[in-house]
Amino acid sequence: MVGVLFVLFVLFVVVPLVELYVIVAVASQIGALPTIALLLVISFAGAWLVRREGVGVLRRTQSTLQAGGLPAREMVDGALLLAAGAMLVVPGFVTDAFGLVLVVPPVRSFVRDRLIRRWERRSGLTAGGLGGRGRIVDVEFVGDVTPSRRPDEGGPPELGGGR
């Protein structure tokens, strides 16, 4: 619980204060209107990049699905692009920098692989679609297995309807 509160504190208090400080520092160097224009240009360029990368992720997802695979890596990529887009929409140079870095495919791939390894370690499971090391269990349905006789009628209940 303390970890969640710390993360929320950083997101809603520390990050906006840092962003405000950097915006004021940049504005004092280049002026208010150029700073606003720069923030707008970065946001629009970032949105265009996120859209372009998102289309690529969508194509890879469709190709993986058509091949009969689980597009788990592509889903993580999509989530990371969503986070990058959110950072680029928020006005500020620091979040824009993180968002732009996350749009770059090699950086996103590195972050994706680290997240997958962390999730696997935390859960104690290997994600078949994510890490490619899953185990398939083949199960066959044999019919109704509910007891045919109530336990109070004496004797053990028979499985499979007593046929």
Each residue of 70-111: pLDDT tens digit? 888 899 999 999 999 999 988 899 999 999 999 999 999 999
Residues 6+ apart with CB under 8 A from 71: 60, 61, 64, 65, 129
Buried b (16+ CB within 10 A) or exposed e, 126-155: ebeebbeeeeeeeeeeeeeeeeeeeeeeee
Lowest mean pLDDT among 51-60, 132-141, 152-161: 152-161
- The strand ranges marked E within 23-109 are none
Residue 1, SS3 per DSSP: coil
Report the half-sphere exposure of 102 (CA within 13 A, side-chain side). 25
Q: Find out whether 43 and 114 touch, Cβ atoms under 8 Å.
A: no
Higher pLDDT, 114 or 149: 114
Residue type at position 56: G
Higher pLDDT, 149 or 96: 96
At 13, is the pLDDT very low, low, confident or very high (cuts 50, 70, 90)? very high
To the nearest 10 degrees (0 to 180), the angle between helices 72-89 and 93-103 is 160
Q: Find out whether 130 and 69 touch, Cβ atoms under 8 Å.
A: no
The answer, yes or no, to whether residue 152 has pLDDT greater than 80, is: no
Q: For residue 119, give both structure tokens.
A: 């999730």
Tokens 């140079």 found at:
93
